[in-house]
Structure 1
Amino acid sequence: MIILPAIDIKDGACVRLYKGDFSTVHKVAENAVDTAKSFAEQGAKWLHMVDLDGAKDGERKNSKVILDVRKNTSLHIEVGGGIRDMASIEYYLSQGIDRVILGSAAVKNPELVKEAIKEYGVKIAVGIDALNGMVSAEGWTDTSEISFTELAKRMEQIGVSYIIFTDISKDGMLSGPNLNQLDELKAAVSCRIIASGGVANLKDIINLTDLDVYGAICGKSIYSGSLDLRAAVEIANAAENKGKGASYDYQQS
């Protein structure tokens, strides 16, 4: 399993939200580049970055910060937020971003996903964010009438290889990921699933490795200190090496 520490950007700053609510925004770090470098020093190989302003407004807003991180670290980076057209996809990928995440477009403009997959293949991921099992879009301000499993099946049919799943009710709450919905999603599609939202501690990382998801995004837990990133990476690497069902010794700080 891959651990992806998260950096969310709003107005150029590293922030976190509770359940995607923009009124709860609070700064968690001073500098995105320094934060990303610290993640790399703790063993992370991937970084998950979101342009929160872009997600809300439907256009790139914080790409300069994101590309500053790209230029100053060796991390693999996936980016989401406000990517609603081929020009934005091309922009990020041409600047060295490894994977682009389409979120609202999966609901609002599936033709864009088809075109992107045809052009860029595995460099495209789809973010499925759900509240009470129903997909939300537009920076989580618009709830659709599509279930998360139904959208995942549609995306698999298009050719999507990576799905990033977030249970919005878990986001930023440190209450543990929604293992039941993740299990349901894994049963519904053969895509690689990246879990997002709710990770609080090393036990959650172990639970996700046992579930055999492809990756786990960790945000607030790292910034708050409830999750030891270095230990999480070690557990994920051990799961990769030993296979599903391995047991681990860990200590909670």
Structure 2
Amino acid sequence: MLIFPAIDIKDGECVRLRRGDYATAQKVAEDALQTARSFEAEGAAWLHMVDLNGAKDAHPVNASLVFQVVRKTGLKVEIGGGIRQMDTVAYYLQNGVSRVILGSAALRNPAFAKEAVRKWKEQIAIGIDAREGKVAAEGWQKTSTVDYLDFAKQMEQIGAQTLIFTDISRDGMLSGPNLEMLDRMNQSVSCRVVASGGIRHSADITALKALNLYGAICGKSLYEGTLNLSDAISAAGGQDET
């Protein structure tokens, strides 16, 4: 199982939120590139980045920082936040990003997601962020009436290979991942499922690995020191894609 350390960018700074609430933004590191390099030194192969400004403004805001990390580390970078158009996907991929995450756009415009998946295949991931089982969008500011499993199956049908699932109530809370919802999704679709939200320590990684998930995103736990990245990678069984 892959471990994806996370860097969320707001106003050019590395921050963490609680349950997606922008008012709770807390600066957790001085420099995105320095942080990415430290993750790489501890054995990470991938990096999960989110442009929080972009998620709210519906267009890239912190892309220059993302590209700096891409150019100056050996990490594979996936990016989400504010990606609503095909030219934005192309912009990121042409500048070396390994995978682009579609969230709100996939919910609001499935035809766009289908076209992106058709064109870029495994370089597209679908972010499914749920509040009480319903898919949220627009930087988690709005909640739809769409069930998270129904949406996962819809994305599977358009050809998506990777789904990133976040239980918003767990995100940034260090309260443990929602194993039940993750297992249900993983059993319901053939897509690779990445867990996000709530991971606190190595035991959580072990529990997620037991569900045969593709990956796990770790953010606040790394910054708070409740989880050591190298220990997490070890508990996950290394960083092989298989």
Normalising to structure 1: TM-score of the pair?
Answer: 0.94
Q: Say yes or no: does 1:10 pair with 2:7.
A: no
Q: Say yes or no: does 1:223 pair with 2:229.
A: no
Q: Which amino acid aligns with 1:155?
A: M
State the 1:237 CA deviation: 2.1
For each residue in 1:26-68, what CA deviation from the matched residue of structure 2 results, as whole angstroms up to 9, or x when unmatched? 1000000000000000010000000000001101000011111
Measured in 1, the distance between the counterparts of 2:147 and 2:90 equals 29
Against the structure 1 CA distance between its residues 21 and 72, is the aligned structure 2 distance closer, same or farther, given a 3 Å change threshold?
same
Q: Secondary structure, in 3 states, of the residue corresponding to 2:231?
A: helix
Measured in 1, the distance between the counterparts of 2:63 and 2:238 equals 34
Measured in 2, the distance between the counterparts of 1:45 and 1:184 equals 27
Task: Report % sequence identity.
Answer: 54
For each residue in 1:198-238, what CA deviation from the matched residue of structure 2 results, as whole angstroms up to 9, or x when unmatched? 00000000000111100000000000000010111112125
Against the structure 1 CA distance between its residues 119 and 238, is the aligned structure 2 distance closer, same or farther, given a 3 Å change threshold?
closer
Q: Say yes or no: does 1:175 pair with 2:160.
A: no
State the 1:187 CA deviation: 1.5
Normalising to structure 2: TM-score of the pair?
Answer: 0.98
Aligned equivalent of 1:154: 154
Preserved CA contact (<8 Å) 1:165 1:194: yes
Measured in 2, the distance between the counterparts of 1:176 and 1:153 equals 25
1:1-253 matches, within 5 Å, as 1-237=1-237
State the 1:240 CA deviation: 6.7
Measured in 2, the distance between the counterparts of 1:211 and 1:136 equals 24
Q: Which amino acid aligns with 1:42?
A: E
Preserved CA contact (<8 Å) 2:58 2:83: yes
Against the structure 1 CA distance between its residues 70 and 238, is the aligned structure 2 distance closer, same or farther, given a 3 Å change threshold?
closer
Measured in 2, the distance between the counterparts of 1:171 and 1:106 equals 21
Structure 1 gap ranges (5+): 244-253
Measured in 1, the distance between the counterparts of 2:109 and 2:147 equals 16
Q: Secondary structure, in 3 states, of the residue corresponding to 1:169?
A: coil
State the 1:239 CA deviation: 9.6
RMSD between aligned alpha carbons? Answer: 1.3
Q: Structure 1 segments of 4 or more deviating over 4 A?
A: 238-241
Structure 2 gap ranges (5+): none
The alignment of Structure 1 onto Structure 2 pairs a total of residues equal to 242
